[in-house]
Structures are given as C-alpha cells and as structure tokens.
Amino acid sequence: MADTTSPPILDLAVVAGDGIGTEVVEQGLLVLEQALHGTGTTVRTTDFDLGARRWHTTGQTLTDEDLAAIRTHHAILLGAIGDPTVPSGVLERGLLLKLRFALDHYVNLRPGKLFPGVRSPLANPGDVDFVVVREGTEGPYVGNGGAIRVGTPAEVANEVSVNTAFGVERVVRDAFARAAARPRKKLTLVHKHNVLVHAGHLWRRTVEAVNAEFPDVTVDYLHVDAATIFLVTDPARFDVIVTDNLFGDILTDLAAAITGGIGLAASANINPDRTAPSMFEPVHGSAPDIAGQGKADPTATVLSVAMLLDHVGLPDAARAVEGAVAADLAERGAAERVRSTAEVGKDLAARVAG
C-alpha cells in the first residue's frame, strides 16, 4: 500500500532495530500517539523484529516476505540498524540499505536546523535553517564493487559509485522544488567534480538543465571539501543542499553536530511517487557505546515522527510535535538535571498533549 493522505487508520511498520533504536522508537511512538489525539486518525503498528537478534537466530536480514509485508503499510518508523556482534555491513547493507533501495527512497531529506536556545559548538552560528536533499538509492552505496586477492599484499578493492541520469535528475528536480517553496530559494550542489569528473559533471549538467524549470531558484556549487568548511564557518549561508548518497551521509552528521548534536537530527527517506511507504528515522546509528543505558536522546526520532506526520497529511499534528520539541529544547539549557531517554519522551508527549 502506498502512503495516502491523512488515513483514518495509519498503518505503521515499526523497525526498532538495534542498540538505542529500540529505546528511541518507544518514545517516538509515545509522542506519535499523543499527537494523533483529536485528529481523526489512529495508529496501528506492526513490529518487524529485524536486526542483530533476528540475524543471530535465523541468519536472515530482510526477506522477500518481510519486504512484502512492510509494503502494505502507509509508512515506516525505523530506529537504527547495526550491531558490533554482526560483521560490519551485513545489517547495514542487507537490511537498512535494502529497505531504502527496494522501496525507492530516492529523496533522503535531512534538515539542519538550529532551534532557539540550543547550544551550537560554533561561536556565531547565525540563523541555521537548511535542508540536505541526499540521493538515497545510488552512489557508492549500491554495492557495485568487489575485491581480489583479499588479505594479501596484492589486494585490490573497488567500490564503484553509480550515478544514472534518471536517478540524478529526479532527486535534483525534487531539490529544486523544495528550494522554490522556501523563502530564500537557494540551491547548493555539493560534489567533487574537479576530481570525480564523470559523476560530478553529470550532477552539474543536470542541475544546470533543471534550473531552467525553476528560474526563481539561485544556484551555487561547492566542492564537498569546501562545503565542510562553510558548514562550520558560515552554516547560515545554506538553504537547500543537493548531493549524492555518500557526501550527504557525511555532511549530515556534520550538520547534526553544528545544530546541537546527533541526538537531535531527524530524517526522512521519501518515495515521492508514493509507490511504496516512506521511512522515517533519526540520522544517528545504534550507538553501541550508550545502548541499554537510557542515555540516548529520543528527540531526533520524535522530530522524524513530525516529518512522518507531514508526509501522511497531518501537518497540524506535525507542527504540534515540532512545537513540543522547540519548547523542550528552549528549556534544556537552563535545566540542571540530565534526563533519561524515557523522561525526555514522556516530557515531549506531555507537551504535545498541552
């Protein structure tokens, strides 16, 4: 079932996953249920037990049956995937990326917003409010690579970045549309076309061509290395950033760091054509270093829930969730006590309830 607009019953697939994923998703669901009160929509969740535990017991990551069942939902809420007891890449590739690719999540939307009252590590961050449109189904993450003579001094390992005209154009067009709808109407392409000349020039030509459809949008370009400089020295210059899968992954952890930390960074993996459910998840991973200790900040997941509510046609509920987060964040600076994951979730739910 594809996502629909404001369904009476919101069928939500829940993939809590590994590590802190289960902890933050529990709080995200608490806030979601509160936000739906009075909207005429109720949520019906289906838990998908996917991740390290499943892999250890069955050897499976994501089967065709899992995927078919997930497809019948309006949307997916995901916590985090990845565990130190599983070989690196098995779950990340076989579960997380498989979901994004199979469900055609070609727009990976990641806001970089500094909420009032939130302390940034930057001395003078300015008014930071941008969004990264990261391509979600191509680039070096597609698994086009291999290695020979593994473990020998003659080993050669390749990881090929795949960029198709079709894939680049559709995400670039989406990014232009988002820029056109924002007050500043500015789009920054980030790539590395001085070195990655094949992919980089495809991205550049595509941006130039699609710009003709959006003449109101001002376009600029930064090589990815320079983009990291400006994200730290002048983040307020950015409005919409469009970039590939790998660069977008890296830049959005940096964006999180300058806007108050990874615990606040939300994301949406969107299938804009609504041929499959979109997926909402915090930017962060499973954080094995703090898992099981109640230390994870669930705010990123709660803000991802707000993105989910927007996507399913419940903007008022989305604004209520964002408002609750903004109010909570504004008071955090003054608070003396560090709250647990569950306490933050409970407080946010209470604020949504009014």
Ligand X SMILES: NC(=O)C1=CN([C@@H]2O[C@H](COP(=O)(O)OP(=O)(O)OC[C@H]3O[C@@H](n4cnc5c(N)ncnc54)[C@H](O)[C@@H]3O)[C@@H](O)[C@H]2O)C=CC1
Ligand Y SMILES: CC(C)CC(=O)C(=O)O
Residues acting as catalytic residues: 141, 192, 225, 249, 253
Tell whether residue 94 is among the known ligand binding residues. Answer: no
Beta-sheet pairing, 186-191 with 9-17: unpaired
Number of residues that bind ligand Y (CB under 6 A): 5
Question: Does 129 sit near Mg ion (CB under 5 A)?
Answer: no
CB of 106 to ligand Y, least distance (A): 14
Q: What are phi and psi of 266, to 5 degrees?
A: -100, 160
Question: Does 51 sit near ligand X (CB under 6 A)?
Answer: no
> 263: which DSSP letter?
G
DSSP-assigned beta bridge partners for residue 188: 220, 241
Q: Which does 97 bind (CB under 5 to 8 A by kind): ligand X, ligand Y, Mg ion, none?
A: ligand Y
Those residues whose C-beta lies under 8 Å from the C-beta of residue 90, and which sit 6 or more positions away, are 55, 61
Tell whether residue 289 is among the known ligand binding residues. Answer: yes
Span from 37-45, 90-98, 160-168, 310-318 in contact with ligand Y (CB under 6 A): 90-98
CB of 257 to Mg ion, least distance (A): 12
Tell whether residue 297 is among the known ligand binding residues. Answer: yes
Q: Which of 282, 338, 316 is nearest to 21 (CA)?
A: 282
Cα–Cα dist 198/276, whole Å: 31
Tell whether residue 110 is among the known ligand binding residues. Answer: yes
Sheet holding 42-47, edge to edge: 42-47, 9-17, 75-80, 278-282, 266-270, 107-113, 129-135, 240-243, 186-191, 218-223
Cα–Cα dist 335/259, whole Å: 19
From its phi and psi, is residue 31 left (phi > 0), alpha (psi between -120 and 50) or beta? alpha
Give the x/- contact pattern for ligand X in 262-301, rule: CB under 6 A: xx-----------------x--xxxxxxx-----xx--x-
Using CB under 5 A, pick the residue from 18, 66, 239, 249 that binds Mg ion. 249
SS3 290: coil
Question: Does 343 sit near ligand Y (CB under 6 A)?
Answer: no
Give the x/- contact pattern for ligand X in 91-120, rule: CB under 6 A: -x---x------------------------
Contact residues for Mg ion (CB under 5 A)? 249
- Return residues touching ligand Y (CB under 6 A): 92, 96-97, 249, 283
Going by the annotation, the residues of the binding site for NAD(+) are 285-297
